[in-house]
Structure 1
Amino acid sequence: MRMRTSYVAFDAGRGLTVAGALATPLEGPPAPAVLICHGSDGVDGRGAFHAQALHEAGLVTLEIDMWAARGTGRGAAGRPRSPLETLADAFGALRFLRAQPEVDPARVGIMGFSWGGVVTLLSAVRANAEPHLGGEPGFAAHAAFYPVCWAYDAAPGLGLTGLSGAPILIQTGEADAYDPPGADKALVARLQARGEAPVRGVSYPGATHGFDRDLPAQTINDPFAHAGRGGPVLMEFHRQAATAARAEAVAFFKDAFAD
């Protein structure tokens, strides 16, 4: 599908103007859209990797830059204290997308990586959405990539109860040093048991945190790593997992947006 890329900005409230790259079809009726939220390193190519496949499936994308909106430095050193602080960016983007003539306002989803994955899951909580949307419905689907699975219902403000009912996809690497073994499966099982939304998890053997980041491997140190004890985290591209995860995300959104 032929796409037009526009560089846009919108008011996210709280004095924030958030910028992003919006890709819309050059022709055709209003299409479903996916908001893309970056990880702690900022916009680094992961969004573009997935956006290409989403465009081929006929979907609009908007990848936002949450760090630039705050005038912070690029990378993890400049991130806010909590992903809760960037929920305004996500819901501001939802309002913006719904106002675009190329977008079907009833079919807007969200996906994100690491920090953005946390935002993706937190945006599924009704209590998080209501202050930003004034009674309007939230996102129609949530696809989180390696969203630090140990933290939910454990770290302050990261509860996942009272979900909107929109479907959720969680994709993780089994060698992700943020989480103890099995934390991803435990989170998925816990959410499935609550029965508040359709939830599915996919885990990739041998894949680390950031397995879809096609850049040289790097090791970072993060206080949220190793179940909150802090320490080093390897981020290494895993082509097989990245390709499979991209296909899973496209299929997930196509199913969620099906008429």
Structure 2
Amino acid sequence: MKVVKSLVAGIAMVLASSVCAQQYAGRTEVHPIQSMTLSTAQFLSGKTDGKPVTLAGELRLPVGKPGTKFPTLIAVHGSSGIGINIDRWAHELNSIGVAVFLLDSFSGRGITSTVADQGLLDHLAMLYDTYRALDLLATHPMVDPQRIGVLGFSKGGVASVYAAMDRFNEAYGSKKARFATYMAFYPPCYKYIDDEKVDAKPIRIFHGEADDYVPIAPCRDYVSRLQARGADVSIIGYADSYHGFDSQTLPPKVSLPQAQQAVKCRLEEGAGGSIMNMDTGKPFGRTDACTGVGATVGYNKDAHMKAIEDVKREVKAVFKIESK
């Protein structure tokens, strides 16, 4: 009799544990996204006649009680696609109760990388994708539509920084929600028409001081212009840090001889959706004298750990998450 009671009690504990796990375990979901591929000129001209495309994204929900609506960040990858650094960020953010949506702008378009040819996909097309991901998440039953932000990396950082522009929001933004924060790691910064008219929500940039692939200086200039207009914007530079300093599988310093870069170019939006080379006074082209190939990337553990602290602090503040 004692054996039977013990067995029954054991089964009850297992069942209770199973139910508890179902109630509190996080989950991963894969969602299709209907988007379109726009060129620079199409996007800047407000066109909506791009080529339709079906993309996908992976939503990683943290552990939480049934009925919880989670704050969420859309992670927008860079020129190499979704890398292990973004996977690490998803784990770090899940650990503080934030869901992460890993947006894949490449696979649905048959792209693996744009490192050697940035013309394969414009970064502004990835901004359009980001707005469509916001459409999706704003209606998800486990996402808080008032607490959705964007976190972009390199090429994807353009999407996260410039998603804050009023002009782009009016042309392409979601009708279901607005971003609660705009965060970017080592993004390229440009000068677009009306780029000083931005959302009142926080814009945060995290950059490497030693970045010779996408230098920090243009972003510092943009931040200064925005601050002069009263925007809630800041930039943190990490010492001795190259591009991709949060990618822990990289060695401390490695050369990418095939990487396209425009370090010496001064670029600004012109008429008709063109991007002008301010040194030549002509539309920018990938063969302009200011362009080149070759850049440095590398992991910096100290900077990475500091960046994790900085991002978590900012995310907790904007999403009003109490520290445990």
Does TM-score exceed 0.5, indicating one fold?
yes
| Correspondence for 2:59 | 22
Partner residue of 1:7 out of 30, 34, 46: 30
Instruction: Indicate the RMSD between aligned Cα atoms, in angstroms.
Output: 2.2
- How big is the shift at 1:22? 0.7
What does the per-residue CA deviation read over 1:20-65, in whole Å, with 9 as the maximum and x for residues that have no partner?
2111135332011000001101111111111111101101110111
Identical-residue share of aligned pairs (%): 30
Using a 3 Å threshold, how does the CA distance of structure 1 residues 123 and 26 change in structure 2: closer, same or farther? same
Q: Distance in 1 between matches of 2:194 and 2:296?
A: 27
Q: Which amino acid aligns with 1:257?
A: F
SS at match of 1:206: coil
5+ unaligned residues in a row in structure 2: which ranges? 1-23, 37-50, 267-289
Partner residue of 1:52 out of 91, 113, 118: 91
| Correspondence for 1:172 | 207
Q: Which moved more, 1:38-47 or 1:70-79?
A: 70-79
* 2:241 pairs with 1:207: yes
Q: Distance in 1 between matches of 2:95 and 2:141?
A: 20
Q: Which moved more, 1:115-124 or 1:185-194?
A: 185-194
Q: Which structure's CA Rg is the greater one?
A: 2
* 2:293 pairs with 1:235: no
Q: Distance in 1 between matches of 2:147 and 2:225?
A: 27
Q: Which amino acid aligns with 1:5?
A: T
| Correspondence for 2:311 | 249
SS at match of 2:132: helix
- How big is the shift at 1:70? 1.3
Q: Which moved more, 1:113-122 or 1:181-190?
A: 181-190
Q: How does 1:61-100 map to 2 (within 5 A)?
A: 61-77=100-116, 79=118, 80-100=120-140
Q: How many residues are paired up?
A: 253
Q: Distance in 1 between matches of 2:202 and 2:111?
A: 33
| Correspondence for 1:119 | 159
Q: Distance in 2 between matches of 1:74 and 1:184?
A: 24
Using a 3 Å threshold, how does the CA distance of structure 1 residues 186 and 78 change in structure 2: closer, same or farther? closer
Q: Distance in 1 between matches of 2:63 and 2:194?
A: 40
- How big is the shift at 1:133? 3.4
Q: Distance in 2 between matches of 1:99 and 1:137?
A: 9
Q: Which moved more, 1:49-58 or 1:64-73?
A: 64-73
What does the per-residue CA deviation read over 1:223-243, in whole Å, with 9 as the maximum and x for residues that have no partner?
323446333211100011111
| TM-score using structure 2 length | 0.72
Assess if the C-alpha contact under 8 Å between 1:72 and 1:78 holds in 2.
no
Assess if the C-alpha contact under 8 Å between 1:126 and 1:163 holds in 2.
yes
SS at match of 2:316: helix
